[in-house]
Structure 1
């Protein structure tokens, strides 16, 4: 048995004045959760709750919530298209299974009716959204695909509409479960479902006083939207992690292919050349023509041959080394026992005897006439090794390749600073995605839902309208501060800020900074703040607006991490180094010693972008550092550890010092 007619269509037919709205699944989920929370939070007596899910998999996500609702009422009905074990039953609440091809499989309904409250959500999935989902049934959707499904329908707290929606759904319930006829009839009689309508089309009902607390409704909307942003943030992190993995694989492949690591280049070259040449020992070490010593770092050995790795080779008194420098090409000693170069040098004779070298080949590694290193081949067994021209050419060719690789490695080393900057830029981009996803999209979503609700519900209670407006205004201010911090940081880092230094008193700047703090909401409690600025403190030379900005941001940072019963103090002293030192101290959560430096990094968040209890983007302290550095001062943090408070200190040049420096420069 299946019914092809739509509940939404029937409702619009009976109440033609209704105008369906467009909703996304994320919004519908938030609305339905809020409606359920109102039932749990309000003092309702035996309300009627009817919910219809498209598929069993959607019902399973909410089953525990309806079990809680069943504790409030015996009239809880849940409809769903079965996929596994969903069947008609009466445990906890009434379950009604309908056929997968029923029109209900494309709709989403929730109706709540009580003596003093009524609301309903009747929606049908958009045909374009259904077709899009059917195109990729076997693929794992992205985290945003499901929440972005579109529905058209009605959400209202108008009692007449809710009663009509309940009537249409109860009729479906009786068709699928005739055994519930008596129970359904009881619900109809109690709540006046099915009463005649007036000429206006609205069911005649008595006036009801609503004692529903709207706070759970608003809190559910905000909570759900934040949860959606958390899912989005996880998606961004997953994408970023995958991108980093691909970059790492590519960088490793590129490093091996181009041999930009000098240690890897020399070790592979020693290994391959020693094996190919059949030498007992192959050494490659880096040295310049003017150096007197070299440390052996890369070595190939055959079994039974003594290692010389880590040994220091004396080169200034080595005749073979001096010969290859003078000639610019390699030398080969067939027999160290009879070779005059070796016999005439006590040092070479000792080395040949100690390390059992019978035949010795040395090849310089040149690049554009500059010595970069030396390749040595030692043959340690009899008979002696006579070097053939082809072998010498091969060793020379390898030396040329080693020289080119070493030059590339030097160039690569010179680019490490740039690579670090690029990595820092990449981290900044990743943090920007995370911060924007959490700090910008969250208030945007909240503002959108609030404005949608205000636009679509002109009869919304005054107190709920005020809550919606306050929430939207608060989040718009949050977005403004976020954008302002981004612009400020960008201007400071790019050098587009024009400084206007002037002679100032620290007390005046502290007063201006504190006046900003007093504009905060009076409904919140903040820690007590005290100031201690001596009257005889010297004047300072700085841009007044930026100095006020630094103090305000440090105080704001202290507010975030200091409980209401804590204390914040601002003090200033002359530190004896021609600077005034300003300190903003608090009794808050403190900072771990190993984090005292990184707290000034961009986007730094002690608790992570999503787990933190205090808001913000992690840009405030970074902005402070750039401003203080701009006038030649220093800024640092001090703390004894967790829950032991913290002190942020920065210095400002004194006016007299600047004047003295100018006079000194003129005298020169």
Structure 2
């Protein structure tokens, strides 16, 4: 029973002078409401109103208006293709349910005919608009998509056109509801619908004979235009805000690409973000989940707002920070005066009072779930700031950029550190080749000469034979020490050493270390050595064998670079960190200030591997550092410069409860 022909096509065929126009649904909605408001404002009775809504979903949006219109007239006809509950009925007005495949399902009609005026709206939906709506058949179009639907049709106040449109639609109503024939005939007779062409022409000549108030119609259109202008202004503001956001993100991205300096990147981010959101204060600082405090490193300030740059804030007592750790999401406080987290925290209350924070936002800087830092925004004094979703999204986007920048800078720093380690390793390899070549080749050559002499010259005097044997034994011992130092350092650096800490007296270890010099002192003249160890110095806790090794190597090192007429002293005192500090000082060659740290590097030798006047491999101090680090102590060197002597210090943990020291002086 559906009808395939279009009302608009029939109307244009009947009145060829009509020219259809293009309308958007938003415009048609405003026109329809204006026509309906005109009926509601008029004092005349019983106008004819015909409305076709395509689908029931569109009718439901206007059902309440047609209940009000039914109080003005009993000649109201509403047409729609049913989707749920729309059926033929005559409760408030006449409902006409047509078939979904009827041509009416693609058209929008509204016809109003009264005694002294008439208007009509007859439109057909554009085929392109229908195709777009069919792409999502199971979804109700969004508001923006719905209002942008396009229609082609006629809107006019010509009475003759309105009467013809009414005739065409009423004829279709009778197809679906033939029982309304008498009611339709009454309204047609009343308004002259379906009369001859001559009578229609007379109606057209009197089409503007209207004595009703058109102000409601005009007001409706003005309201629609104002609403459209407001929406347009709102859209422009949204576009502007989005453009500002993109510029901000781009400026920070540019800073990241331009520099690998994390300090510069964070300062640019704080400045740009604070200015963009017009905050009183924008802070960015590094913080990790295990940190107890954080130092404010980067800050943007608005005029009249006090600075917090360089201050250290407690994180463990900050409930906002603890909430971030739990949720890994930002926290915002609209009004610090009323927020329970601030009122119940003395630390936060002090910050709010001292720095005038009224609204507070903390956003974590994360990378793969790892906390790297915090971005804070403060709006100070009055009034409080209502945080908008767009602001929160922007801060989150900036925090993501900052996280990427910090990881990038960290990776670059690690790469630089790795390069430095590779360079040091290369230097170590070169030194190793040079030193082992010299240290092994030289004694091997000497041993070979001595043994060949002994083997080829049996008549060699006994005294010379003893010299040859003594020289070979001395150089073999030198080689043994070299190999032993290599193995010792390798074990220490690889962590293969097993430590056996015990309670010891330092004096005992010093005596054992000095006893190693007795063999050397019988053949070489060494400087005078003095010890100043308190008799009641607290007991120390360390591995005794390794402690003796440290003392022996430091004393041996001092003897190498101190002339025989010089002096070496060994002192020990208790410092404030519950450690015993041991000092081995000499009056020898001294160390340049810029080399006080590198003397502990492997293979370091002041004169070079092949030009030194003192023996050794340059591994002794490196071994000492590894041993001291093993019991969590520290070792360092001091010197006033060349030929000013040097002092080597290292610390050893004490046994808790030991008594204080009383110094004594012993000379060796």
- Relative to the length of structure 1, the TM-score reads 0.39
- The structure with the larger Rg is 2
Give TM-score scaled by structure 2 length.
0.39
